[in-house]
Amino acid sequence: MMNYSLKSIFSKNNFINILIALLPLSFILGNLSININVILIIALSIFFFNKDLFSFKFNFVDKIIIIFFLYLLFIGTFSTLYNIYFNDLEDYTVLFKSWAYLRFLIFYIILRYLIYSNFLSLKLFFISCSVCALLVVSDVIFQFIFGVNIIGLEKIYPRHATSFFGEEAIAGSYIQRFSLFLIFFPLFFFDNKNLIIKISFILLITVTFFALLVAGNRMPVIFFLFSIFLLLFFQKNLKKNLVLFLLFFCVIFTVMYNLFPQFKTHYKGFFIKSHRIVTSVMTRNVDPENSGELFRGHFKEFYAGYETWKLNKIYGAGVKSFKYNCPKTNVINCGPHPHNYYLELMANLGIIGLILFISIYLIIIFKQFLNFLKNKGSLYDEKSKNIIFILFFVEFFPIKTTGSFFTTGNATYFILILAILVSLLFSKNNLFIEKSFSEYKL
CA distance 32 to 45: 20
Give Cβ neighbours of residue 40 (< 8 Å, ≥ 6 apart).
19
- Name the strand (E) or helix (H) holding 214: helix 195-215
pLDDT at 435: 40
Q: Taking a C-beta distance cutoff of 8 angstroms, is the pair 227, 133 a contact?
A: no
DSSP state of 216: T
Q: Please give the sequence-ordered ranges of beta strands (E in DSSP) within 244-380, or none if there are none.
A: none
Residue type, 384: S
- Closest to 172 in 3D by CA, of 131, 128, 213: 213
Question: How far is CA 344 from its chain centroid?
Answer: 16
Residues in the chain: 442
CA 217 → CA 33, 91, 205, 224, distances in Å? 23, 36, 17, 11
Q: Nearest-5° angle of CA 274, CA 280, CA 286? A: 115
Q: Taking a C-beta distance cutoff of 8 angstroms, is the pair 24, 132 a contact?
A: yes
CA-CA-CA-CA torsion sign (422, 424, 429, 433): positive
Express each pLDDT in 330-370 by its tens digit: 877 788 888 899 999 999 999 999 999 999 999 999 998 88
Q: What are phi and psi of 166, to 5 degrees?
A: 60, -120
Q: Provide the whole-model pTM.
A: 0.87
For residue 343, the number of C-alpha atoms closer than 13 Å in the C-beta half-sphere is 25
pLDDT at 290: 47
Question: How far is CA 236 from its chain centroid?
Answer: 25
Question: How would you class 286 by CB atoms within 10 Å of its CB: exposed for 0-12, middle for 13-18, buried for 19 or more?
Answer: middle
Helices (H), 117-155: 122-146
Counting as low any pLDDT under 50, the low residues of the chain are: 1-4, 289-293, 377-379, 432-442
Question: How would you class 138 by CB atoms within 10 Å of its CB: exposed for 0-12, middle for 13-18, buried for 19 or more?
Answer: middle
Express each pLDDT in 135-151 by its tens digit: 999 999 999 999 999 99
